[in-house]
Amino acid sequence: MNFEQAVSRVASVSGAVVANSQELLARAGFKVNEILTAMPHLLFITGAEGMMSRAVDIASGTLKGFGMEASEMGKVASRQQTGVVLYS
């Protein structure tokens, strides 16, 4: 899944929220190509705009904390989404 496909699937997330999320990833030390790799997965796990910044915080912290690459964001996002479903 690429960035454009992910954005088109999540119509409820505004461009400003996506831009803010990208900025949060950049502040967390992600490079441009890493941000573009991670964003589709983050958009997939967030259905509401208010959850986007929290999802970015958790997922980027998980990646960095475990020394994972941005290309592994799909694994993190999948586990994060599973946790939310099981918890609720």
Q: Element (H or E) spanning 8, and its range?
A: helix 3-9
What pTM did the predictor assign? Answer: 0.60
Q: What is the mean pLDDT of residues 20-41?
A: 88
Give 67's pLDDT tier (boundaries 50, 70, 90): very high
pLDDT of residue 53 exceeding 50, the answer is: yes
Q: Please, where are the H alpha helices in 10-72?
A: 15-27, 32-45, 49-65
pLDDT of residue 23 exceeding 60, the answer is: yes
How many structural domains compose the chain? 1
What pLDDT does residue 6 have?
Answer: 59
Q: Which residues, at least 6 apart from 2, have a Cβ–Cβ distance to it below 8 Å?
A: 40
What pLDDT does residue 56 have?
Answer: 81
Domain residue limits at 41? 3-87
Q: Element (H or E) spanning 87, and its range?
A: helix 73-87
